[in-house]
Structure 1
Amino acid sequence: MKKLVISAVSLFLSIGGAAIAQTATVTVPGEVRTYVLEQKSPSVKFEGEVAVGTTLPDTVEIHTIPDQPDYGYVVVNEKRVLVNPKTRAVIEVVE
């Protein structure tokens, strides 16, 4: 019985840790959001939902942000999104 309880607790903690890792957010500087909102960039079409964690294909051009090498942006399906330019993953949908 003791082994079963220990196993159950271990399973609960490992699942809980995975859930915490998935909900971690990136704190984006306000000036990055402001810059992205001010740009007049055309929207590109993307099949599927654009959400945090979505990896954009190489065919989508990611625009750079001056003095912010860790952030890029693109307008996808009429939504402005911040992107990690190294991984091409969406960091935030700017609203």
Structure 2
Amino acid sequence: MLKSLMVASATLFISTAAMAQSTVVVTEPAPPGAVVVREMPAQVRTYVMQQEVPSVAYQGDVLVGRVLPQDVEMRVVDGYDNYAYTVVNERRVIVDPGTREVIQVLD
């Protein structure tokens, strides 16, 4: 009985640990309205935090997934052409330069 209980406990522990470490890879576009979090090199965040740029006033909330209007000036991150940045409403944001979509809001 004790041996069965120990095996059952070990099995439960291992399966729980395995589930906690699972990764889902999505190969299709995200459904409309879904927020997609992109991983980016740490150097991008560090670079953006070090830059002195003026803040742009923007009506509305600055949120991940929001597309910034054309009049918001963006700057490309040196060495990382897939990332741009700006400061909107005193908040630094990392943006996809092709779509102008906010990737991450830095605080």
Same fold, TM exceeding 0.5? yes
Please say which structure displays the higher CA radius of gyration: 2
Structure 2: give runs of 5+ residues left out of the alignment: 1-29
- Given candidates 70, 83, 87, the residue that maps to 1:71 is 83
Structure 1: give runs of 5+ residues left out of the alignment: 1-16
Letter in 2 for 1:59: D
Q: Is the aligned partner of 1:25 residue 2:34?
A: no
Could you tell me which residue of structure 2 aligns to residue 51 of structure 1? 63
Identity %: 42
CA distance in structure 2 between the aligned counterparts of 1:43 and 1:74, rounded to whole angstroms: 8
The normalised TM-score by structure 2 is 0.68
What is the CA-CA distance between 1:22 and the residue it aligns to?
1.8
CA distance in structure 1 between the aligned counterparts of 2:49 and 2:96, rounded to whole angstroms: 17
Could you tell me which residue of structure 2 aligns to residue 39 of structure 1? 51
Q: Which runs of 4+ in 1 moved over 6 A?
A: none
- Residues 1:76 and 1:68: Cα distance change in structure 2 (over 3 Å): same
The normalised TM-score by structure 1 is 0.76
- Residues 1:58 and 1:18: Cα distance change in structure 2 (over 3 Å): closer
Could you tell me which residue of structure 2 aligns to residue 81 of structure 1? 93
Greater RCO, 1 or 2 (C-alpha within 8 Å, sep 6+): 1
